[in-house]
Structure 1
Amino acid sequence: MIYLQLIRYKNLLLLALMQIIFRYGFLNQQDGYLALADWQYFLLVLSTVLLAAAGYVINDIFDQETDTINRPEKVIVGKAISESRAYNIYVGLNIIGVSIGFYLSNVIQKPSFATIFIFIAASLYFYATTLKKMLLLGNILVAFILGLSVLIIGVFDLYPATYDGNREKMGLLFKILTDYAVFAFVLNLIREIIKDAEDSKGDYNQGMQTLPIVFGVNRTAKIVFGLVAIAVAIVLWYTNKHLMSFDLYYAVLYVLFLVLGPLMYVLIKSWNAKSVSDFHHLSTILKWVIFFGILSIAVITYNIKINTNA
């Protein structure tokens, strides 16, 4: 169980579930050929999950002193697991994850695409060792990698199956994936800033230059408020343009209650957020907003089918 906690298995399950939703709740429902067989797509999910797990491990290795201050009851490396064993786990997870990436890149006859997996592994190491100490750069990188976990589906499942006869349709599907990747990026960027506010005490003692340390927790809360307001506006615009305009009323209700509603709650609560528990609460809600936002693709697809058969 301690090893599952080390790799944040709950977060990994959510990541895997999101990628499965895109494949079987959206892409598989379209008329067209996908490049990967089901078992190969499972390998793609496994690879991204393993690389994410490695990222959590290396982060824990370099965050031992910070975590001792921020969350002493959750420190694993150096207590339940030795640092050398954690390094071995980190290396093993990366080797398997990148190796699967090499295999899949050759399956779709695009061996250069293996650099995507190397980039993810290297970026998460660079984040844990350097970037997370810098103002916003680490936040942007982590948010980008989550968005990349959505785009990678299109890169490996859509792009290799694209030809002149289906180029327009595949382009539309890839654009939809891109929209969701941007959604995941924006909300996860906000969540990373909130997590920095939650961990500001330990980060300050380690000389980090996060947004809450540079501008203060109160100003950071106001910045979060502004960013969430922008996210709310984008979701409202998208819902009106792409859902209401096509009479996708089930999807509209879903988004209103499970995406916009919680986002509005975060917006209101962020204005006066001050304590560690306040920011932890907001971070947890945003994690579920991201998940339910991704799940909306399956609801939209189902709603389109209902309208088509009506």
Structure 2
Amino acid sequence: MNYLRLIRYQNLIFIALVQIFIKYGLFLPFGIETTLNTFGFVLMVIATLCITAGGNIINDIYDVEIDKINKPTKILIGRKITERNANRLFIILNVIGVAIGFYLANIIERPSFAALFIGISALLYLYASYLKGMLFVGNLLISVLVAMSLIIVLLFDLLPVITPQNQAPQSVVFKIVLQYALFAFFINLIREIVKDLQDINGDKKGEMNTLPIALGRKRTTKIVFGMGAFMVLGIVVYMYEHLYNEQILLLYFLFAIVAPLLYFCIKAWDAKTSKEFGFLSKLLKIIMFLGVCSIPLIQIIIA
């Protein structure tokens, strides 16, 4: 169980579900031509999860001192799991992920795509060891990588089989996945800043240069509120332009995404304590999950 907690198994399950929703809730129901069979798709999911799990491990290894302040009761490295074993698992997971990436890139006849897995693995290491402490850079990077967990399905399963003949239907689902990736990016970006607000005390000791440290907790809280309000506005505009005549999806977006986001904004306006920011972080995670759960419902629009 300690190793499952180390790799953040809940987050890995979420990533796997998102990719499954895209493949089997969006591509297949509309007869979209794809590259990967079931075995190849499973390998792609495993590769994604291995590299993500490795990133979680290396992040915990570098955050031991900070976590002694931010979450002293949840530290695993050095207590439940030795740093040596954690490093070994980090290496093993990345080797597996990159090796599968090479295999998949050759299957789809895009050898250069193997560099994607190598690049993500390297960026996760750089994030944990260096970039995390740079003002806003770490927040931005990890949010891009979250979005990439969706986009990678497009690159390996959809892009290689797009031809002039099937470009129209392929482009429709391509754009839909990109829209969800953008949603995941912005929600995660807000959540990363909220987590920085929650962890400000430990980050100060670790000499991190996060937004709350650079601008102060009060100013950063207002930025978080503004970003949440912007998300609400953006989703409402999207609903008006694309879902106006789709009652089921309109109601789902209204009650499962917009309403929780409005509640987030209300709570974020005067949030002050680490406990309050922890609640906001969990709320954003739920909103992201509810957002991607709408992917199988998209067939209502296209059907």
TM-score, scaled to structure 1 = 0.96
Note the residue ranges of structure 1 that are not aligned, 5 or more in a row: none
Q: Where does residue 249 of structure 2 map in the other structure?
A: 251
Q: Where does residue 186 of structure 1 map in the other structure?
A: 186
CA-CA distance at 1:164 after TM superposition = 1.6
Q: Where does residue 287 of structure 2 map in the other structure?
A: 289
After superposition, residues 116-155 of structure 1 pair within 5 angstroms as 116-155=116-155
Identity over aligned pairs, percent:
44
Q: Where does residue 21 of structure 1 map in the other structure?
A: 21
- The amino acid that maps onto 1:299 is L
Checking the alignment, whether the CA contact within 8 Å between 1:21 and 1:298 is kept in structure 2 is yes
CA-CA distance at 1:18 after TM superposition = 1.1
Q: Where does residue 175 of structure 2 map in the other structure?
A: 175
CA-CA distance at 1:170 after TM superposition = 1.4
DSSP-derived class of the 1:79 partner: coil
- The amino acid that maps onto 2:179 is D
Q: Where does residue 88 of structure 1 map in the other structure?
A: 88
Q: Where does residue 57 of structure 2 map in the other structure?
A: 57
Q: Where does residue 275 of structure 1 map in the other structure?
A: 273
Q: Output one character per residue of 1:49-91: Cα deviation in whole Å (capped at 9) or x when no partner.
A: 1111001000000000000110011000011111111100000
CA-CA distance at 1:185 after TM superposition = 0.5
Checking the alignment, whether the CA contact within 8 Å between 1:248 and 1:300 is kept in structure 2 is no
DSSP-derived class of the 2:293 partner: helix
Q: Output one character per residue of 1:139-189: Cα deviation in whole Å (capped at 9) or x when no partner.
A: 000000011111111111111111120012212221111111111101100
Q: Does 1:41 align with 2:41?
A: yes
- The amino acid that maps onto 2:111 is P
CA-CA distance at 1:32 after TM superposition = 2.8
Q: Where does residue 202 of structure 1 map in the other structure?
A: 202
Q: Where does residue 233 of structure 1 map in the other structure?
A: 233
- The amino acid that maps onto 2:196 is D
After superposition, residues 210-229 of structure 1 pair within 5 angstroms as 210-229=210-229
CA-CA distance at 1:199 after TM superposition = 0.6
Matched residues, number: 303
CA-CA distance at 1:294 after TM superposition = 1.1
Q: Where does residue 258 of structure 2 map in the other structure?
A: 260
Q: Where does residue 242 of structure 2 map in the other structure?
A: 242
- The amino acid that maps onto 2:31 is D
CA-CA distance at 1:24 after TM superposition = 0.9
- C-alpha distance in 1, partners of 2:25/2:55? 28
- C-alpha distance in 1, partners of 2:270/2:209? 22
CA-CA distance at 1:200 after TM superposition = 0.5
Q: Structure 1 stretches (4+) deviating beyond 6 angstroms?
A: none
CA-CA distance at 1:268 after TM superposition = 0.7
- C-alpha distance in 1, partners of 2:22/2:261? 22
RMSD over aligned Cα atoms:
1.0
